[in-house]
Amino acid sequence: MYQTDKRTVITLDAGGTNFVFGAIRGNQDVIKPISLPSNSHDLGQCLETLERGFREVINALDEKPVAISFAFPGPADYPNGIIGGYLPNFPSFRDGVALGPFLEDKFGIPVFINNDADLFAYGEALAGALPEINSKLERLNSAKRYKNLLGYTWGTGFGFGFTVNGQMHIGDNSCVETFCLRNKKYPDVICEDGVAIHALKREYAKNSGDTDHNLEPKDMFDIAEGTREGNREAVLKTFEDYGEIAGDAMATAATLIDGLIVIGGGITAARKWIMPSLLNELRSKMHQLNGNELNRVQMKVYDLDDETEFREFAKGAQRPLKVYGTDRYVAYDPQKRIGVTISKLGASQAISVGAYAFALSQLDTENA
């Protein structure tokens, strides 16, 4: 969608630590991304940074953009461009900021704001994991195709968004979240406190006994890989717990929303240390009071980045089924299945592609 469109849209990936500004035309970046500290603790500085970044992008373009469209953490009143509510990474916005109207007044073009994880899921559904997986299924002569996608972003927080039949789901209150689901390890605590950068730092301190450490996730990854000295046992335990808590939250979402799971964000670099416990959780069992055992997730869950598992995923359990009273047979695949994969575009690019497509779809609808 919009791969050949000639219109230019300014985009932004608004993280709690950095703002990454860019511009897209035909699903392709047309300038080098501009990264600035978000200054999220101070409203005045934050708004000044936003204005500066967008103006730098406009000055670098060879034509006027048709819109500004970007991601901002939620919850918020996205249709009206108002950011506010419980925003752990943007405390200065909690009382409400009319960000969309502010930017429209500054730049004189339409402004569209959405949740970062919603746009991540939308971008992966349009131009990333979903079409890539469906194309691969076709090449393997599988009749199975997927239309729904659950997108997770791992980083400062535990972001979540999903698409149904290729459409981004926003919700009646612009509030589709899983960060506040129950934490498996600490049942009276939100799961984001187990699935975020700050969680990795805290749990490493607990597991290692080094409460004064200054390690970042990349440092922990290097220790796990053996390329940096450190308490490898503590790091591996930290990643294992991260995967278990994330998998528990994902199992709840996947039970309610039948679709592929795509994960993005910098922490996915440590996938080989996190995914085993995550997949174990998605594949875990539950019981009825009478002792019957059930799968936690009703669909069989595959690791789609493992080639052997992908081939099994594509094959499924298809067999011919005779139509009663005739000599006719139809193909029948009784295996319900989903899969987990890492972002094919990268979180920042997927968010930008999602923001671009959302803006143009809104403009096209308004002009129809």
Q: How high is the mean pLDDT of the chain?
A: 94
φ/ψ (deg, to 5) at 312: -70, -40
Q: Rounded to two decimals, what is the model's pTM?
A: 0.91
Can you tell me the distance from the alpha carbon of 190 to that of 203, in angstroms, rounded to the nearest whole number? Answer: 15
DSSP H or E run through 338? strand 337-342
Average pLDDT of the residues in 187-193: 94
Residue 281 lies in a domain: yes
User: How far apart, in Å, are the Cα atoms of 305 and each of 275, 277, 282, 338?
Assistant: 11, 16, 16, 13
SS (H, E, C) 35-95: EEECCCCCHHHHHHHHHHHHHHHHHHCCCCCCEEEEECCCCEEHHHCEECCCCCCCHHHCC
100 and 200 in a single domain? The answer is no
Q: Dihedral sign, CA of 78, 80, 85, 88?
A: positive
328 and 181 in a single domain? The answer is yes
Q: Flag whether pLDDT at 175 surpasses 80.
A: no
109 and 163 in a single domain? The answer is no
102 and 189 in a single domain? The answer is no
227 and 312 in a single domain? The answer is yes
204 and 167 in a single domain? The answer is yes
Q: Flag whether pLDDT at 174 surpasses 80.
A: no
pLDDT number for residue 72: 84
pLDDT number for residue 74: 67
Q: Show the tokens assigned to 219.
A: 């440092």
Residue 3 lies in a domain: no
What's the CATH code of the domain at 206? 3.30.420.40
Q: Residue 368: which pLDDT band, with cuts at 50, 70 and 90? A: confident
Q: What is the percent of the chain where pLDDT is above 90? A: 83
Q: Show the tokens assigned to 293.
A: 């055992």
pLDDT number for residue 87: 80
pLDDT number for residue 104: 98
pLDDT digits (tens, 9 = 90+) for 309-358: 999 999 999 999 999 999 999 999 999 999 999 999 999 889 889 999 99
239 and 268 in a single domain? The answer is yes
Can you tell me the distance from the alpha carbon of 363 to that of 365, in angstroms, rounded to the nearest whole number? Answer: 5
What Rg, from alpha-carbon coordinates, does the chain have?
22
Cβ-Cβ contacts under 8 Å for 239 (sequence gap 6 or more)? 200, 220, 224, 270, 273, 274, 277
pLDDT digits (tens, 9 = 90+) for 17-56: 889 899 999 988 899 999 999 998 899 999 999 999 999 9
pLDDT digits (tens, 9 = 90+) for 271-291: 999 999 999 999 999 999 999
pLDDT digits (tens, 9 = 90+) for 56-87: 999 999 999 999 999 887 668 999 999 987 78
Q: Show the tokens assigned to 217.
A: 């996730």
292 and 361 in a single domain? The answer is no
Average pLDDT of the residues in 235-244: 98
Q: Residue 191: which pLDDT band, with cuts at 50, 70 and 90? A: very high
Q: Which domain holds residue 75?
A: 8-114+348-367
Can you tell me the distance from the alpha carbon of 256 to that of 298, in angstroms, rounded to the nearest whole number? Answer: 10
Q: Flag whether pLDDT at 1 surpasses 90.
A: no
281 and 356 in a single domain? The answer is no
Tell me the residue length of the chain. 368
225 and 193 in a single domain? The answer is yes
48 and 183 in a single domain? The answer is no
Q: Flag whether pLDDT at 88 surpasses 90.
A: no
DSSP H or E run through 285? strand 285-287
Written as one string, the DSSP assignment of 10-33 is: EEEEE-SSEEEEEEEETTEE-S--
Average pLDDT of the residues in 248-257: 96
pLDDT number for residue 171: 83
Q: Residue 125: which pLDDT band, with cuts at 50, 70 and 90? A: very high
User: 3-class DSSP state for residue 192?
Assistant: helix
Written as one string, the DSSP assignment of 243-276 is: HHHHHHHHHHHHHHS-SEEEEESGGGGGHHHHHH
If one counts the domains in the chain, the total is: 2
Residue 1 lies in a domain: no
Residue 124 lies in a domain: no
The answer to whether 160 touches 176, Cβ cutoff 8 Å, is yes
Q: Residue 172: which pLDDT band, with cuts at 50, 70 and 90? A: confident
178 and 37 in a single domain? The answer is no
Residue 300 lies in a domain: yes
pLDDT digits (tens, 9 = 90+) for 295-310: 999 999 999 999 999 9
